[in-house]
Amino acid sequence: MIETAVRLLPLFIGLLFLAGLSVPLTHRIAGKRLGLYLSLFPLLLFLSLLLLFPLFKESGAPVTPGFFELVESVNFSFRLDGLSVVFGMMISGIGFFVLLYSAYYMAGYDRQSHFYLYLMLFMGAMTGLVFADNLIALFIFWEITSVTSFLLIGFNHDSSKSRQAALQSLLITGFGGLCLLFAIILTGEASGTYRLSEMLASGFSLRGDASYNLVFVLVLIAVTTKSAQFPFHFWLPGAMQAPTPVSSYLHSATMVNAGIFLLLRVNPILGDTALWQISLIFTGGITMFLGALFSLGQNDLKRILAFTTISALGTMVILIGIDTVQSIKAAILFFIVHALYKGGLFMMAGIIDKSTGTRDVTVLSKLGRGLPMTSLAGLLALISMAGLPPMLGFIGKELIYEAKLETAIVSWVALPLGIGANMIMVAISITLVKDLFITGSATGATPLKYRESQYPWYFMAGTAVLAISGLILGLVPGVLDLMVGHALGWSLNSYGEVHLSIWHGFNKALVASIITVLLGITLFRYRTRVKPVVVSLIAWFDKMFLPELFASAISKFMSVAASNTKRLQHGYHRFYLITFFVVILLLLLIYFLSPGGGVAFPDRQYTPFRLNVVLMLFISSLAVLFAVFSKGRLSAILAMGVVGYGIAMLYLFFGAIDISITQFLIETILMVLFVMVVIKLPRFAVLSTPGSRLRDGIISVAFGAVVTIVLLNVRLIDLNEPVSTFYAERAYIESFGRNIVNVIHVDFRPLDIVGEITVLTLSAVGVYALFNIKVKRASKGVGEEER
């Protein structure tokens, strides 16, 4: 059953991509319901995963046969295991609500079809990433998420802030992606396979390998960039420029969690070493604490949430770094917890933004009256974020504390940092509840542009359902046992029975929780004094640290590139040609004069003297001379035509009929074009000085001479058997064609031809664009620059 079901995976992922790619067509039909229609696709995936889930066996993940194998051992194969199912369910489930939410939120935006196109591709790539079995496929999906998230973050492309944020995120995550590619290639070379299923089945591990350190560092860079870990965390708050549904999706279940997924995925291969533990705990610890701390200094609701996301990601990285059964279990559960509350909170922020027109928490106040459902859902999500019972967040936090307490070495570092970060989370949650729903810094209820009752159900569904599922799962966490257990098995290669419950008895973790809450309440009371300190700290970090450095590095790079381009791309066609010819000329001369090279004319049987060929060459040469010295343009063009036809005749003499015909036709078209243009051009104008003509003459004669020498030399290379025999023998047997040239074109070497027709298309499009710009410019008046 499950082996059959896994074959549906490529179909589902393909369907997501297809749904995205067909948006330009479907948005005309679906109109305003586009978001609703598209949401059916992730819903379908979610429901199928939900149905499949109980069928899982404890060992052996079914793998689809690979397809689209472009390079050997690099193909698209997918696997269905516990880990990918947990991530897949969150991606599809939250994706469903995000699409519903977008259907209303994006209604006022231009270019909606672009938005849905990017979002669906992003969703498809994310799904592909978690289900990929081939590491190269995983990398490809990883990169697609980077590119599509760039498009999504920069969706409001007329704002420069948004473009900058998008570029920043692309550069950082793209850099991480490159590192990941290196890591994957090294791993693949070391293990001899790119397939996860084979690596996991054979118990392969890089731990003892010489390349371990390098691979680990590369993976670490990939993860820190993607998951916004310190010191690359700064792109994530910038990504707030995206429309809210995107932020909600990026932060909760996708994008930044791809790094977490990667860590869990490679844990059996790379994990459980001192390096892994130390560096992940260190990175995650700093990120967790700084993320939480920085969130205290923000006023924008979305930015507050963004920094808490960074903190949550840090928590997950620490847990994976500790790398015990207990901690991986906590990490997986915390991923679910975080996705549920963060997705809901971002959607809440969007609803508040839509209703009041602002996201500034210092302005907002008493939202409960106009937005009762949203407020209730937001309250539940904030309780979950604070880690208080009876929400799932409480169980998650208890597990985290247990995991940290259990491991003696790390508990002294990780636990205080964790308590610190959670204390801030508690304080932030209380602050937000107070600011948004009770009375904030502002007095009186914020005036609402829209009330909740004016919104359609699908706009409210996401926040409500995600918050309520956090509550239900908190009350009956047992339903997650199997899910977390399976995921655990695939990240650690060993199964652990998982029993989640809300009451663990009175233990150390509970004490830690109580301390956290008390500290959080204290911090909340003194928040007005802490905030200025944090704000100045953030300013110091921004100035002294990476964001500024990064921005200046990018701008310097751009200016160097611009000046270089200006120097190289001067726009004079004749100088391009001169550069090209002279460089090749010099290279060939160096080769001829160097000791190893040189020209040789050994005895060899040349083709017998043929009168027709010599006559043809003679006529062509005459025509060339005529063209060079002719005074009239038309006659010069005709002379050039004679040269062209002469070459075509030469082809014919030597039996290349296809090429000859082509040459004739093209020569004709060229002549027609030339004549057409020449008729319309003004009379002769002298555009070149005698000096430049002499220079051009010398260069062309020299180049022609050298090419002749090269050709004479090439003829001397003796191939054992001409290639043509190979094609001649196989053309009819394998490809049913007697015209070898054509068979080579369409069957033996079609990739060359694809390249050629692409170039042809591009040049035709280039000509088209060039002429159309000129037409516009002419109508605008001479001298006006066209941008």
Partner 1 sequence: MKNIILEKIAGFFLVLMLLFSVIIFIRGHNNPGGGFIGGTVAAVGFIFYGIIHGVERVKRLVRITTIEMMGAGLLMGITALSISSFAGMEPATAIWFEFTLFNSFDLHLGTPLLFDAGIYFVVTGAYLSIIISVMEVLKWN
Binding positions for partner 1, rule: CB under 8 A:
65, 67-70, 657-658, 661-662, 665-666, 668-669, 672-673, 676-677, 680, 734-739, 741-743, 745-747, 750-751, 753-754, 757-758, 760-761, 763-765, 767-768, 770-772, 774-775
H helix or E strand, kind and range, residue 68: strand 67-71
Task: Write down the least CB distance from residue 21 to partner 1, Å.
Answer: 13
Measured from the CB atom, the residue of 502 and 656 that comes closer to partner 1 is 656
Task: Write down the least CB distance from residue 634 to partner 1, Å.
Answer: 16
Tokens at 92, concatenated:
């599809």
Sequence-ordered list of residues with C-beta below 8 angstroms from that of 90, at least 6 positions apart, any chain? 252, 253, 257, 335, 336, 339
Measured from the CB atom, the residue of 567 and 680 that comes closer to partner 1 is 680
Q: How far is CA 550 from CA 165, 172, 259, 543, in A?
A: 12, 10, 21, 11
Task: Write down the least CB distance from residue 307 to partner 1, Å.
Answer: 45
The CA distance from 472 to 124, in Å, is: 29
Q: What is the DSSP letter of 390?
A: T
Dihedral (CA of 639, 641, 644, 649) sign: negative
Task: Write down the least CB distance from residue 39 to partner 1, Å.
Answer: 28
Q: Are the C-beta atoms of residues 304 and 355 closer than 8 Å to each other?
A: no
Angle ∠(176,305,351) on CA atoms, nearest 5: 120
Task: Write down the least CB distance from residue 371 to partner 1, Å.
Answer: 49
Sequence-ordered list of residues with C-beta below 8 angstroms from that of 507, at least 6 positions apart, any chain? 402
Measured from the CB atom, the residue of 726 and 768 that comes closer to partner 1 is 768
Measured from the CB atom, the residue of 564 and 772 that comes closer to partner 1 is 772
Task: Write down the least CB distance from residue 674 to partner 1, Å.
Answer: 10
Q: How far is CA 192 from CA 123, 134, 196, 630, 641, in A?
A: 31, 12, 11, 67, 58
Q: What is the DSSP letter of 503?
A: -
Task: Write down the least CB distance from residue 535 to partner 1, Å.
Answer: 54
CA end-to-end span of the chain: 60
- Specify whether the backbone of 228 is left (phi greater than 0), alpha (psi in -120 to 50) or beta: left
The CA distance from 106 to 777, in Å, is: 37
Tokens at 490, concatenated:
């695939």
Cα 615 to its chain centre, rounded Å, is 61
Length of the chain (residues): 787
Measured from the CB atom, the residue of 521 and 746 that comes closer to partner 1 is 746
Measured from the CB atom, the residue of 412 and 726 that comes closer to partner 1 is 726
Task: Write down the least CB distance from residue 353 to partner 1, Å.
Answer: 41
CA gyration radius, the chain: 34
Backbone φ and ψ of 78, nearest 5°: -125, 155
Task: Write down the least CB distance from residue 675 to partner 1, Å.
Answer: 10
Measured from the CB atom, the residue of 634 and 665 that comes closer to partner 1 is 665
Dihedral (CA of 175, 180, 182, 183) sign: positive
Measured from the CB atom, the residue of 282 and 748 that comes closer to partner 1 is 748
Measured from the CB atom, the residue of 148 and 663 that comes closer to partner 1 is 663
Task: Write down the least CB distance from residue 68 to partner 1, Å.
Answer: 5
Measured from the CB atom, the residue of 611 and 676 that comes closer to partner 1 is 676
